[in-house]
Amino acid sequence: MAEQEPLQPNPSSEETFEPISSPPEGEAGTASSESTPSTAAPESPTPEAQQLLYDPKLELLLSIQLPISVELGRTTMYIRDILRLGRGSVIEFDRLITDPVDVLVNGKKIAEGEVVVVDKHFGIRITTLVEPAERLQGLRR
């Protein structure tokens, strides 16, 4: 299985992240303190989700691909400040590094998760899902 590790800021640079090798002091027991790959199987879909997956009315829709994106945070900036951005500029968001990120499908929030490393690529470990009926409703809008 691919290695998955939560990330923490690299103290030598504000712009890079490194896998957490041990929990930071005072944060033992938090979700970001795991340093070994999870061996637990993903949760199986709820009965409601399974019913939606096998609904004959949705059969044609199940093979459609949708864009998935992850939102780290948000901020607002004056146009003059945006025009001054350059290589090495840092934009601060409204979330802490320990806060979950939003997982968006077609621009609609369907889940929250934590950033992990999977074979040197970013990944997201889902921690909270929007209910299946709400997810479907959000995709219809």
CATH of the domain at 31: 2.30.330.10
**Whether pTM exceeds 0.75:** no
Give the number of other CB atoms < 10 A from CB of residue 106. Answer: 12
In three-state secondary structure terms, 41 is coil
| Domain carrying residue 132 | 4-36+66-140
* pLDDT, the chain, mean: 74
Q: Which two tokens stand for residue 105?
A: 């499908």
More confident residue, 87 or 107: 87
Q: Give the type of residue at 35.
A: S
| 3-state SS, one letter per residue, for 63-78 | HCCCCEEEECCCCCCC
In a domain, residue 70? The reply is yes
- Collect all residues with Cβ–Cβ distance below 8 Å to 69 and sequence separation of at least 6: 103, 104, 107
Question: For residue range 108-132, what is the model confidence (pLDDT) as tens digits?
Answer: 899 999 999 999 999 999 999 988 7
pLDDT at residue 88, rounded to an integer: 96
In a domain, residue 51? The reply is no
For the chain, what is the domain count? 1
In a domain, residue 59? The reply is no
Q: Are 103 and 127 in contact (CB under 8 A)?
A: no
In a domain, residue 46? The reply is no
- Residue 7, H or E segment: strand 4-9
In a domain, residue 112? The reply is yes
Question: For residue range 40-63, what is the model confidence (pLDDT) as tens digits?
Answer: 556 666 666 666 666 777 777 788
Q: How far apart are CA 88 and CA 124, in angstroms?
A: 25
CA neighbor of 49 nearest in space, from 105, 4, 110, 98: 110
In a domain, residue 43? The reply is no
Question: What does the chain come to in residues?
Answer: 141
